[in-house]
Amino acid sequence: MKNIIVVFGTRPEAIKLAPFILQAKSDRRFRTYVCSTGQHREMLKPLLNFFEITPDFDLDLMKPGQSLADISIGVMRGLHDILNAHKMDAVVVQGDTTSCFIASLIAFYHKVPVMHIEAGLRSGDIYSPYPEEFNRKATGLVASLHFSPTEPSRENLLREHYSDEDIYVTGNTGIDALFTVIKKLADSPELRASFDKTYSFLNPKKKFILVTVHRRESFGVPMEEVMKGLVALSQREDVELLIPLHMNPQVRASAEKIFGDHAQWIDKGTPAHMGQSRIWLCEPIDYVPFVYLMNRAHLIITDSGGVQEEAPSLGKPILVARKKTERPEAIAAGTSKLIPLEEKAFVDTASEVLDNPEIYRRMSQAKNPFGDGKACERILNIMAERL
Ligand code: UD1
Ligand code: UDP
């Protein structure tokens, strides 16, 4: 039996690692430990409850408005102590967050093999997304095995001269998680009915646009241009926007400044009517209702990594509010498109998708370039063979 420790800190890592942890825990080839760095304290809690995962170690390191250095120092100290006290045969990390990169670095210092899930994504610009492009490259440097979600991500690693025999194309574990939730929603009319009730304020006659924004490299002017674009878009009679706001204080500050009276918070009292406003704001939504809402959306606008992978599986057109994306597969599949971070061009691009039925139809094809829901099983089999 190999001792493995799975380390995560943020919402997307918890979502993408939950199916892996659950399968690893029931796999007799491994003794699986779970470490939450707590980089996202509040946003992790409902996910861990939903997937019924209790971390063996919780570094609980989130501080409001934390700097990249704060997170790094916390993960370094915490994981160093854990690896000193417990002998591990592998450290499993996912993606490109600071928790992921620093955990990999500490594993390397302890000479424990690093298993990198979602390896090989590249935008080609070290500042976009920031600091994630650096984090995933640096994690790759110390990883023993690289689990790439797609063939193009494997090719990125080959171009950087990683050894072919250490790279495996497995699909993205996020799709494993998504399929679990889709099945849960399909099997449970009660659950769907409860979400129908929660979101009954959405007007079924309007095109519902679901929006998320949170990227560090967009803070300030670019994010505020996007928000101004959203306000302009909301002036259309035929649309309605719901924006679950990321907890990052910088996102909140820009939202308050730009949305002002144009938007209404749904968490602060029952939304009985909207007046002139067609923008609803809310706290981050739990993963299952968020999947329900993606499924219900006419269009999704986001700068999220994970949502770029989920929307094509759900057959939802997606506009990516970023200068560059490391997920070109969705663009190649025709379901996703970059949207400029400048108010007027932003509105023009969104309006084109809303107004041109042919473009909308082409972008709504359900495609699944990111996986088939069996990534975790593949990764565990490879790890059992290689460790
Ligand atoms: C982090 C990741 C990013 C990922 C994103 C997913 C890094 C450097 N960034 O960015 O790659 O795309 O998570 O959402 O690893 N906060 C809370 N409660 C929470 C979570 C966040 O209050 O549960 C607030 C805190 O004030 C915190 C701030 O948000 O300081 C920023 O969180 P942080 O993890 O530093 O960065 P994110 O922008 O969330
Ligand atoms: N998500 C969620 N609730 C929300 C917004 C997003 O559950 O209010 C989910 C989404 O379905 C995806 C993940 O969170 O699985 C993406 O997280 P985020 O956008 O924070 O990070 P990224 O993927 O950009 O690193």
pLDDT in tens, 34-62: 999 999 999 999 999 999 999 999 999 99
**Cβ neighbourhood burial of 10 (10 Å; 0-12, 13-18, 19+):** buried
Contact criterion met (CB below 8 Å) for 228 and 254? no
Residue matched to tokens 């820009």:
254
CA angle 338, 344, 348 (to 5 degrees): 60
| 66/167 same-domain check | yes
Q: Per the domain annotation, does 350 fall within a domain?
A: yes
For the stretch 102-134, pLDDT in tens is 999 999 999 999 999 999 999 999 999 999 999
Which atom of ligand 1 approaches the CA of 101 most closely? 15
Q: 161 CA to middle of ligand 2, Å?
A: 32
Number of domains in the chain: 2
Q: Per-residue pLDDT for 274 more than 80?
A: no
pLDDT band at residue 369 using 50, 70 and 90 as cut-offs: very high
- Domain membership of residue 182 (yes or no) is no
> Is residue 361's pLDDT more than 90?
yes
For 328, the domain range is 189-365
The active-site residue out of 216, 296, 342, 352 is 216
Burial class (CB in 10 A: 0-12, 13-18, 19+), 260: exposed
Question: 94, 173 in Cβ contact below 8 A?
Answer: yes
Q: Where is pLDDT greater, at 252 or 270?
A: 252
Domain assignment present for 183:
no
Domain match, 242 and 117 both: no
The confidence score (pLDDT) of residue 367 equals 82
The CA angle 32-35-36, to the nearest 5 degrees, is 140
Q: Please, which pLDDT band fits residue 209 given cuts at 50, 70 and 90?
A: very high
CATH number reported for the structural domain that contains residue 100 in this entry = 3.40.50.2000
Determine the pLDDT at residue 133.
98
The answer as to whether 184 is a domain residue is no
pLDDT for 280 beyond 70: yes
Tokens of 124: 């080609």
Which amino acids bring their CB within 6 angstroms of ligand 1?
Answer: 10-12, 39-43, 62, 64-66, 68, 71, 96-98, 131-132, 214, 216, 247-249
Query: What is the per-residue pLDDT for 65?
Result: 87
> Residues 310, 163: one domain?
no
Q: 108 and 138 in contact (C-beta within 8 Å)?
A: no
Is the model's pLDDT at 263 over the cut of 70?
A: yes
Please indicate, yes or no, whether residues 142 and 10 belong to a single structural domain of this protein. yes
Q: Which tokens in the block code for residue 234?
A: 């909301």
Whether 178 is in a domain gets the answer no
| 16 alpha carbon – ligand 1 mean position (Å) | 16
**Nearest CA to 204 among 287, 290, 298?**
298
> What phi and psi values does residue 255 have, to the nearest 5 degrees?
-65, -45
Distance (Å, rounded) from C-alpha 256 to C-alpha 198? 24
Residues 63 and 134 in one domain: yes
User: Which pLDDT value is given to residue 277?
Assistant: 63
Q: Are residues 138 and 161 in the same domain?
A: yes
For the entire predicted model, the pTM comes to 0.96
Q: Tell me: the pLDDT tens digits for 323-334?
A: 999 999 999 999
- For residue 271, pLDDT beyond 60: no
Percent with pLDDT over 70 in the chain = 97
* pLDDT bracket for residue 273 (50, 70, 90): low
Q: Which of 96, 240, 310, 343 is catalytic?
A: 96
| Nearest atom of ligand 2 to the alpha carbon of 95 | 25
* Rounded Cα distance, 154 and 75, in Å: 28
- Based on the domain organization, do 40 and 7 belong to the same domain? yes
The average confidence (pLDDT) of the chain is 95
CB 215 within 8 A of CB 303: yes
Residues 344, 376 share a domain: no
Joined together, the tokens standing for residue 295 give 């499924």
Among the residues of 188-304, which ranges form H helices?
189-198, 221-233, 249-259, 287-296
Mapped onto helix, strand or coil, the DSSP state of residue 274 is: coil
**360, 382: one domain:** no
- 214 assigned to active site: yes
Q: Are residues 156 and 273 in the same domain?
A: no
**Cβ-count burial of 338 within 10 angstroms (0-12 exposed, 13-18 middle, 19+ buried)?**
middle
Q: What is the pLDDT of residue 275?
A: 56
Higher pLDDT, 367 or 363: 363
- Average pLDDT (190-211) is 95
Asked if 21 contacts 5 with a C-beta cutoff of 8 angstroms, the reply is no
CA 97 to ligand 2: nearest atom? 25
pLDDT at 268 over 70: no
- 80 is known as an active-site residue: no
Residues 255 and 167 in one domain: no
* 8 Cβ below 6 A of ligand 2: no
Judgement on whether residues 138 and 227 belong to the same structural domain of the protein? no
pLDDT in the model for residue 132: 97
pLDDT of residue 269: 56
> Residues 59, 78: contact at Cβ < 8 Å?
yes
Q: Is residue 180 part of a domain?
A: no
